[in-house]
Structure 1
Amino acid sequence: SGFEVNKTAPLEQMEKGMAIQSGNDAAIALAEHVAGSEDAFASLMNAYAARIGMKNSHFVNATGLSAPGHYSTAHD
């Protein structure tokens, strides 16, 4: 059914939606809540990845779905 615009849910419910139901809408909603937009969240992920030494990963979305420029390696 998806996560409706302008609705709220407890964090635990959102996490379960992402992990159990592949809730991409929940991942995007959380990214927007944390960083203001999914693009801004991807920038935060890239900054954190660089900080912890991930040299062969680049994120462009919060869902992990394939997209141009979105990649990671098993080593990272």
Structure 2
Amino acid sequence: MNNPRIFDFGGVIRNTNWVAGFAGFCGYTTMMNVELHVIYQGFQLAWNRGIHNLICESDSKSTLLLITQDLISSYLYVSYN
């Protein structure tokens, strides 16, 4: 998960129907950084559309654990130092 390479990304916001989608390019980084970036982009898009009650689904258990166990600041410190 920490082998850097070139990544692009995408995500969707939906209820029973499609609400919005997003995609982009992350460049040369790690999969964990991409997973975190996708979640951030999804929340930002939802918030900007006035959607504040969200459920985040991800296929990355490691990423969700970083967020839910409040380990994100430790990860960011280690990743960038």
User: Same fold by TM-score, threshold 0.5 exceeded?
Assistant: no
Normalised by the length of structure 2, the TM-score is 0.32
- Give the number of the structure whose residues are more often strand, by fraction: 2
Q: Which has the higher contact order (CA 8 A, sep 6+)?
A: 2
- Give the number of the structure whose residues are more often helix, by fraction: 1
Normalised by the length of structure 1, the TM-score is 0.34
